[in-house]
Amino acid sequence: NAGVTQTPKFQVLKTGQSMTLQCAQDMNHNSMYWYRQDPGMGLRLIYYSASEGTTDKGEVPNGYNVSRLNKREFSLRLESAAPSQTSVYFCATALDRVYEQYFGPGTRLTVT
Amino acid sequence: AQSVTQPDIHITVSEGASLELRCNYSYGATPYLFWYVQSPGQGLQLLLKYFSGDTLVQGIKGFEAEFKRSQSSFNLRKPSVHWSDAAEYFCAASGFQKLVFGTGTRLLVSP
């Protein structure tokens, strides 16, 4: 029972490169979320998926896309990375929208 | 707009002393409330949650929190802090389809 897993743990990109961050959960949760965490800014919601088959924008969606591949997996894609996207990215899941969220270990991304 | 405020950015407590971290929320109705802890380089771990009922809730690692509707507060407490409690603490409240997080309080524990 791994809970919430994220890959990769670390990534360095050059400006303009693309990449996909992967998130998988074995908790049978319906809702999944992507956050970024920056010093002094707390956690900011990028996108979320309230249930399989749906995705919605959060607070800071520009420059990102998401795919809810199935109930278990929710990926975050950066099509053309920018230095402003240097951050730590967290995936989280919840049984349903209003309940507590469980977080993955994070991906530390640096864009040069 | 829904919001969660943690007024203290940093707090330093001596090991063995008591701790209280403040959290205030602004919502149309009483939301579900949560406290999370984040150790350096780690993800967030749920400490405790309040949905309804008893306004004093117990969590893991000896933490507790008290919901006060009249003050729109959900403060986190621990009677005796250990050095391993040094971390960042986030208060959160459930809104429509998502959680709203405070900006966090960093706890430093002095010997």
| Mean pLDDT across chain B | 93
Strand spans (E) along chain B? 3-5, 10-14, 19-21, 24-26, 33-38, 44-50, 56-58, 64-68, 73-78, 87-94, 99-101, 105-110
Average pLDDT over residues A47-68: 94
Average pLDDT over residues B57-80: 96
What residues of B are in contact with residue A61 (Cβ under 8 Å)? none
B60 versus B2: which is more confidently predicted? Answer: B60
What is the least distance, in Å, from the CA of B75 to any CA of chain A? Answer: 17
* Secondary structure of residue B78 in the 3-state scheme: strand
Both tokens of B87, joined, read 């971390």
Q: Name the percent of chain B lying above pLDDT 70.
A: 98
Report CB contact under 8 Å: B103, A41. Answer: yes
pLDDT tens for B53-63 read 889 999 999 99
Chain B residues with CB-CB distance to A under 8 A?
A: 32, 34, 36, 41-46, 49, 90, 94, 96-99, 101-104
Residue-level pLDDT at B27? 81
Average pLDDT over residues A13-28: 96
Residue-level pLDDT at A5? 96
Say yes or no to pLDDT of A58 above 80.
yes
Amino acid at A61: P
B106 confidence band (pLDDT: 50, 70, 90): very high
Say yes or no to pLDDT of B29 above 90.
no
Say yes or no to pLDDT of A57 above 80.
yes
Residue-level pLDDT at A1? 65
A36 confidence band (pLDDT: 50, 70, 90): very high
Say yes or no to pLDDT of A30 above 80.
yes
A18 confidence band (pLDDT: 50, 70, 90): very high
Spell out the residues 6+ positions from residue B39 whose beta carbon is closer than 8 angstroms to its own.
Answer: B45, B87
